[in-house]
Amino acid sequence: MRQFFNPQRQFGDVDIAGIELDPQSRDDIPRDVEIEQAYRDYLDLAEGFLGRARATREVLLQVHKLPEILLQPLDAYIPHGERQIDQVRRRVLQGERIPHAEKVFSVFEGHTEWINKGKAGVPVELGLRVASVEDQHGFILHHRVMQHETDHQVAVVLIEDTTQRFPSIRSASLDKGFHSPANQEALHNVVEFPVLPKKGKCSADEAVYASQPRFVRLRRRHSAVESAINALEVHGLDLCRDHGIDGFERYVAMAVVARNIHRLGAILIAREAEEEQRRRKRAA
């Protein structure tokens, strides 16, 4: 017999039984039955902890007269526990598939999303998508924190917002992930020359448009966007150290400002270096 927890633990008025495996041979127990029983025992344990949390809350409120505002963290975590117990029971014991919209990927940062990257090595990440618009000089003109949004859903509004701030924009280059037939059409009404590669095979007209020298030139410049994304990560956006969605949005905005200041400094340093080089040539 393998014992994972003490056979019996007493927490206030709530008895929490330990989990023990049946002493009979594992070969005599179907694997799925063994797993199901382990989950039942685990759920019993979790419900015991929830009962203890509720009882403790009442004692703190009724006996010790603790202000309810101090109980808010506990009030926030109890529903998380109830939801997880419900979802585990439905998924494992009842065989139900939990809708993606009901899933929570972080009890500490509720806005966290499951992001399918579709890239080798890093197929999935937890966090929030952030879209940014960078000009030809390396400055970030606009950004958008994307809650429950994907690239193709924000393509048009992202460029519209940017052109409202900077009306002189004539072209915009986007990744394939922003493509949709509707976006291809709508972006032509937003900027003079959109560069949005199509997923899959192009039609004859689309192939002609994509083969234009201007399209090819702007598309080649787009590779610099990856370095801009890396620069944002270097300037603090690889990990958000603030809390909540408001804190996340603040942190992104601060990283954008930091990146732009760094870019401005790099331009000034390069300009000073060029002036110094010219002075040396004149003095030689």
pLDDT over threshold 70, residue 50: yes
Mean pLDDT of the region 37-54: 96
Dist CA 201 CA 224 (whole Å): 25
Q: How far is CA 241 from CA 77, 236, 247, 251, 252, in A?
A: 21, 9, 8, 8, 11
Q: Which amino acid is at 118?
A: G
Distance of CA 118 to the CA centre of its chain: 14
Percent of the chain at pLDDT exceeding 90: 56
Sign of the torsion formed by the C-alpha atoms of 36, 2, 28 and 16: negative
pLDDT tens for 149-203 read: 999 999 999 999 999 999 999 999 998 889 999 999 999 999 999 998 888 788 8
pLDDT tens for 60-103 read: 999 999 999 999 999 999 999 999 999 999 999 999 999 998 99
